[in-house]
Amino acid sequence: MTTLARYITALNRGLFGLAKWLVYAIVALMLWEVVQRYFLSHPTSWAPELATLVFGPFFLLGGPYMLHTGGHVAVDILSSRASGGMARALHLAGLALAAAFGLILLWFSLPLVLQSISYGETSYSAWNPVVWPAKAFLPLAAGLLVLQALADAILAFGAEDAA
């Protein structure tokens, strides 16, 4: 089980390792738009929208990674004072809440993505791109969040068994 948990963690780490490079694509798109708009007086209709569509996967794939690294904002009034079994119980309760959030998000987002695919949904802007690829990252990230919560719980119990 711990091998599977480590594989899930490595998957989330690798996906975010790839996704973090999307920031450079967003910067390049925005730089292109600024040059086109202010220096060439020829703004694009697609660069700002594409930057927004690219930001979604970057943001969403960060969630499972941040869960594992503990990078989310946390109210640790109790957990900072707890030790031993109580600290572990609070950590597991937090992971259970993260998994519940991910399951709810997955449950509600997946039908919307499937509907977007079936309708060939577009953004209805001047550029009008298909939006389901960007929308598909929401249930993907929610599923990865659930898996990461389970992996962290397995690793926490593995650490308990080793102690």
Q: What is the pLDDT of residues 45-56, one digit of tens each?
A: 899 999 999 999
pTM (2 d.p.) = 0.86
User: Cβ(120)–Cβ(130) under 8 Å?
Assistant: yes
* pLDDT exceeds cutoff 90 at 163: no
Domain ranges in the chain are 2-162
Question: In Å, how far are 57, 93, 113, 125, 146 from 139, measured between CA atoms?
Answer: 11, 23, 8, 24, 10
